[in-house]
Structure 1
Amino acid sequence: MPSPTPVIVANLRRLREARGYSLSALAERAAISKSTLSQLEAGHGNPTIETLWTLANTLGVTFSELLAEKTGGVTVGEPGGGQVQVVARGRQSPRVEVYLMQLASGEIKHSRGHPRGVRERVMVVEGTLRVGTPRALAVCRAGEQHEFDADLDHRYEALLGATQAMVTILYPQQWEDA
């Protein structure tokens, strides 16, 4: 897997410094090792999608704010074949972001809960996906969707073959860009 993009490196450093966090402070708050965070800011290492979500949540920003240039998006991939691509980022309140998620057959993605009030709507484009929180887990096929409170831990599991899904993140009204 490639190292983090220069955009992710720059955004991570900018956001950390804007909040007055040292590497140690951010690492502790995110429950990530300081060496991992230091490697990411140096442009090295293999950040997983979960690590990047954790950093975005800890910094209090949307996932796309960490991943994207102000004018566009980026795709984050992992060795198992999964990837997430920023498709659209709304600027109005409430904030809305859209991602294309691709998972290899049998791949499972676990996601920690996002900030309070965040909801996800997942529509399967291809394949079969088990998605949601333990209390709101659904199996969806192409054309079907599931919406759930994403402030709880949740998962995505490609059940039958490679799976693609559009993931819409709905942030609460008060959410602001960093």
Structure 2
Amino acid sequence: MPSPSPVIVANVRRLREMRGYSLSALAERAAISKSTLSQLEAGKGNPTIETLWTLANTLGVAFSELLAEGEDGMTVSEPGGGDVQLMMRGQQSPRVEVYFMRLAPGEMKISRAHPRGVREHVMVIEGTLRVGALDALAVCRPGEGHEFAADVEHRYEALLDTTRLVASIVYPYDEVAR
């Protein structure tokens, strides 16, 4: 099993300690097991993308802050075939992050709510994607996009084929902890 990037390991530990959380406290707040968090901070295991998103939300930071401060291009892969690559991380407010995502055929990602006011913009490059807030899902094909509130539980689902897309996440003013 591949181990997490040393950058992710260092960032999770640094952010947890900056907030004064013990391993147990962060695990409880994030609703993940303490052993999962302990394995991650030890540089072992292979955290899922959902686990990393959950940690970022719980720590009150943008997902890109776990990948690396100012480092574009880092990719987080899933054993099932999907991956997320940070393409750009804006430094202005509101903060905008741009990701390239690949989902394996039939792969579905359910994302917990991001901080209040966060919006996502998705543009499909290849495949067919069902995406959006759970009560307002849209189906998008190549060249089509969808914008939705991401401060509620939402879903990305590749229908049939491998799906490639670009997702932009827009954090509202003063909502992302620095």
Band of TM-score, shorter chain: over 0.9
- What is the one-letter code of the residue matched to 2:164? Q
Q: Does 1:11 align with 2:5?
A: no
In the other structure, the counterpart of 2:75 is: 75
How far 1:3 moved relative to its partner?
1.1
In structure 2, C-alpha distance between the alignment counterparts of 1:59 and 1:73, rounded to whole Å: 22
How far apart, in 2, do the equivalents of 1:176 and 1:119 lie? 13
Give the share of equivalent positions with the same residue, in percent. 75
Unpaired runs of at least 5, structure 1: none
The alignment yields a C-alpha RMSD, in angstroms, of 1.1
Would the aligned equivalents of 2:60 and 2:176 in 1 still touch at CA under 8 Å? no
Q: Within 5 Å, which residues of 2 pair with 1:10-159?
A: 10-159=10-159
Aligned length: 178
Normalization by structure 2: what TM-score? 0.96
The residue type paired with residue 80 of structure 2 is: G
Tell me the CA shift for residue 79 of structure 1. 1.2
Structure 1 counterpart SS, 2:9: helix
AA of the residue aligned to 1:91: Q
Asked if 1 retains the 8 angstrom alpha-carbon contact of 2:116 and 2:175, the reply is: no
Aligned to 2:165: 165
Cα distance in 2 for residues equivalent to 1:177 and 1:7: 19
Q: Encode CA deviations 1:19-65: one digit per residue, 9 max, x unaligned.
A: 11111110110011111111100000110000000000000000000
Residue 176 of structure 1: how far off its partner (Å): 4.0
Structure 1 segments, 4+ long, off by >6 Å, are none
1:2 Cα deviation from its structure 2 partner: 1.6
CA offset digits 1:61-85 (Å, max 9, x no partner): 0000011243334101111110000
